[in-house]
């Protein structure tokens, strides 16, 4: 009995990679995350902070 159960567990582990539906969901999630990140980075306070950071980095005296 244990042998049959273990054979099924081992056979289930041979499925590697993602199916087409999983790729679609993963792509959709990545696009949604990119859209949210874009909105955050281009918002006023964050854009000003990034601009100040870059300006400070460029004004460093060598």
Instruction: Report domain extents, the chain.
Output: 2-58
Predicted confidence (pLDDT) per residue in 17-53, tens digit: 668 888 899 999 999 999 999 999 899 999 999 999 9
Annotate 14-32 with b (16+ C-beta within 10 A) or e (fewer).
Answer: eeeeeeeeeeeeeeeeeee
Residue 48's pLDDT is what?
A: 93
Instruction: At 20, list the tokens.
Output: 């087409």
d(CA 52, CA 58): 10
Taking a C-beta distance cutoff of 8 angstroms, is the pair 37, 45 a contact? no
Q: Does residue 7 or residue 36 have the better pLDDT?
A: 36
DSSP state of 14: T
pLDDT score of 55 more than 90: yes
Cβ atoms 54, 62 nearer than 8 A:
no
């Amino acid at each position: 009995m244990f042998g049959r159960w273990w054979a099924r567990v081992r056979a289930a582990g041979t499925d590697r990679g993602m199916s087409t539906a999983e790729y679609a969901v993963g792509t959709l999630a990545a696009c949604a995350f990119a859209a949210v990140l874009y909105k955050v980075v281009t918002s006023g306070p964050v854009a000003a902070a990034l601009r100040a950071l870059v300006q400070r980095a460029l004004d460093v005296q060598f």
